[in-house]
Amino acid sequence: MAGLAASGSNPDVELLYDINGLAKDAPRWFDRVMEYVGEYGVLLAMILLVVWCWWSVRRRGAEDAASSVAALVWTPLAAAIAVLVNVPIRGFVERPRPFRDHQGLEVLVSGKTDFSFVSDHATIAMALGVGLFVANRKFGLIGIGLALLEGFCRVYMGVHYPTDVVGGFALGTAVALLLSPLAMALLTPVMSAVERSPRGGWLIKSRGRSRVGGQDALIPGARKETAGAEERDLAA
């Protein structure tokens, strides 16, 4: 398995050279940007996207807020589980980094000594993207788009074959989706209990009014002003 894609006539290797060749023709500053984006930037953006989605769900205060927050809690857990699953996969396949078997690559990040298949970065990014999609389709589509960018960057940087990235996408998607029903069954009751908690309820819904279905809905902990207004009307 260590010699996987060792031949230069392999389409996987040809696509590697095509994408990585863009780094040779690009300005040095652009390569530095791609290096940062591929190594840290996309994953940081994904974390911020998860936080943004949580804030949006919390402020909206819909009836399904607990299940939505449960899905958001599952998102980073899915990424962590996918990386753990990848550990034995890497050890079984033992695929060297592409720059070890192929000459002439523009390697933007040095010090990569572990195996190549599958890409941890691609696995984490896609697990986060798909997990976000389970919670909120709009944020999920943005997350999946960022995951695709992450995969392109890893090949552009010369540290992964395209199939390493595709394998990471498949692994992240499989873990996030296949384990999602079990995760939601376990996490949703916990988030519902947090929602009912006087101290932790703000993590699920903001304290105050929320509009649900075009009508004002009172969030737990908010003043029941509607009932008071009705009493004043009757007294009048």
Give per-residue pLDDT as tens, 149-178. Answer: 999 999 999 999 999 999 999 999 999 999
* The predicted structure's pLDDT at residue 207: 66
3: amino acid identity, one letter: G
* The predicted structure's pLDDT at residue 208: 57
- Alpha helices by DSSP H, 94-178: 98-101, 120-135, 137-156, 162-178
Torsion of CA 169, 172, 176, 178, to 10 degrees: 80
Q: Could you tell me the two tokens for 27? A: 């300005």
Which residue(s) pair with 215 in the sheet? Answer: 212
| CA 230 – CA 227 distance, rounded (Å) | 5
* The predicted structure's pLDDT at residue 178: 95
* The predicted structure's pLDDT at residue 59: 84
Residues in the chain: 236
DSSP calls for 165-218 = HHHHHHHHHHHHHHTHHHHHHHHHHHHHHHHHSTTTGGGTS-SSEEEETTEEEE
Q: Quote the pTM value.
A: 0.80
Using DSSP's 3-state secondary structure scheme, residue 31 falls into helix
| CA 100 – CA 160 distance, rounded (Å) | 11
pLDDT < 50 stretches in the chain: 1-8, 209-236
Report in angstroms the alpha-carbon separations of 61 from 11, 136, 173, 184: 50, 14, 28, 19
